[in-house]
Structure 1
Amino acid sequence: MFITLEGGDGSGKSTQAEILESWLTALGRTVVRTREPGGTEFGTEVREIVLHSRGHISPRAEALLYAADRAQHIATKVRPALERGDVVVQDRYLDSSVAYQGAGRVLDAGEIRNLSLWAAEGLLPDVTILLDLDEDVARARLDGANKRFDRLEAEKSDFHRRVREAFLALAAAEPERFLVVDAALPPEEIAAVVRARVEELLVRRSQ
């Protein structure tokens, strides 16, 4: 099973990925927890470039860097794990590219999606958990964490508003794949909603 978590910066994806991994492991499932960019050695190098480069990166170059990371990541880590029967829990995937580079950077969302699908050889998640959070609330969370912002986190509110709207539009277009959860809820309440959806899929797969 391939599970992805999506949402704006500060929405709590890493926390939910950790909780979900622990629950699945307790059920006896082998879990591969990963992220984009940065899920492979090559991806770690790409992550450093796209998120922490001090020089200007054009929107198209940024989109291509993410696609390159995705191609390597899916081919060398995700597909092998799925073929072994493992559960992959992944922080960000192609929907992030459509939202951030398509809407945030104002590129063609269809082209970005097609590029990502080509890079991943058409692989789509079994379920995508969208943690939806108002962009101003998310920024307050990031400010409270006292961390150094990366290139995307440092973008202005309008950028993050476009990203959020794009995520919600993607979820509305594919309701059978997406589960939208209010990320303002307490983490355990969110985790319970996520577990219910994943458990439903696990039962369906076992029948």
Structure 2
Amino acid sequence: MLDVPAQSAARFITFEGGEGVGKSTQVKRLLVRLNRMDIEAVRTREPGGTPKAEAVRAFILQGRSESWGPGAEAVLFAAARYDHVSTLIAPSLASGKWVISDRFHDSTRAYQGLTGGVNEKLIQGLETLALDGHQPDLTFVLDMDPASAFARVETREIEKALVQTGDRFEKEDLEWHRRLREAFLAIAAANPQRCVVLPAAQSPESLEQEVWDTLIRRFPEIEARKAG
């Protein structure tokens, strides 16, 4: 995607999965690891990442979009993503920086598409517009039984528990979240060249190591950089 030397190639990495699986924790840990390798990386999230996209996030967090239905929510997510890509993601990659995002377009496919029932053609159209060709190089799908994930969430402070769009989706019943889990697994199965499913019920430290081992297998230039 970018005309830069392989050893310094910018990479776009995303983390996906249901509520409470530990995406934010692993994004932070990966950023630290990359910094130790002197790889400049930008940490971001969806919805959000830019002032305009964060305004959309706040609107959804407050539950003000719920009555509009999943189709309208998909449009809102796409609008936020369009600004996120054009303002932060694309310029960062073009300058040689890695981008590590807590959620990206797969969340819209899983939440509003496969689980919410939004027409696939609408999802694809919004995705084409918002991404402008900027597909992730690697997506980690953190997989965990929803009941166990919510037990984790209940142990956190409320502010830290509001992941992605927080209470807007956390209040859905367990069966809905089980369908969401299957949606993410279906996306991963349909995109094996990009997506890697990792068990999220293990310790954060063990999961961090799995993420890192996967990363260096996929991008061996990282190890070459270390050796150099």
Q: Decide: shared fold, TM above 0.5.
A: yes
> For residues 122 and 29 of structure 1, what CA distance do their matches in structure 2 show?
23
Question: Compared with structure 1, are the counterparts of its residues 165 and 129 closer, same or farther at alpha carbon in structure 2 (3 Å cutoff)?
Answer: same
Q: TM-score, normalised by structure 2?
A: 0.85
After superposition, what is the alpha-carbon deviation per residue over 1:107-126, rounded to whole angstroms, capped at 9, x for unaligned?
A: 22453144223211122101
Q: How many corresponding residue pairs?
A: 207
Aligned to 1:170: 187
Farther off after superposition, 50-59 or 13-22: 50-59
Aligned to 1:137: 148
After superposition, what is the alpha-carbon deviation per residue over 1:18-48, rounded to whole angstroms, capped at 9, x for unaligned?
A: 1000000000011100001110000110001
Runs of 4 or more off by more than 4 Å in structure 1?
Answer: 204-207
Structure 2 residue runs without a partner (length 5+): 1-10, 160-165
Confirm whether residue 82 of structure 1 aligns to residue 99 of structure 2: no
3-state SS of 1:151 partner:
helix
Q: 2:104 aligns with which of 93, 118, 122?
A: 93
Q: How does 1:1-207 map to 2 (within 5 A)?
A: 1-54=11-64, 56-147=67-158, 149-204=166-221
3-state SS of 1:185 partner:
coil
The one-letter code matched in structure 2 to 1:84 is: S
The one-letter code matched in structure 1 to 2:16 is: E
Farther off after superposition, 121-130 or 102-111: 102-111
Q: CA RMSD in A?
A: 1.8
Farther off after superposition, 173-182 or 109-118: 109-118
Farther off after superposition, 141-150 or 186-195: 141-150
Identity of aligned residues (%): 42
Farther off after superposition, 83-92 or 157-166: 157-166
3-state SS of 1:180 partner:
strand
Q: TM-score, normalised by structure 1?
A: 0.93
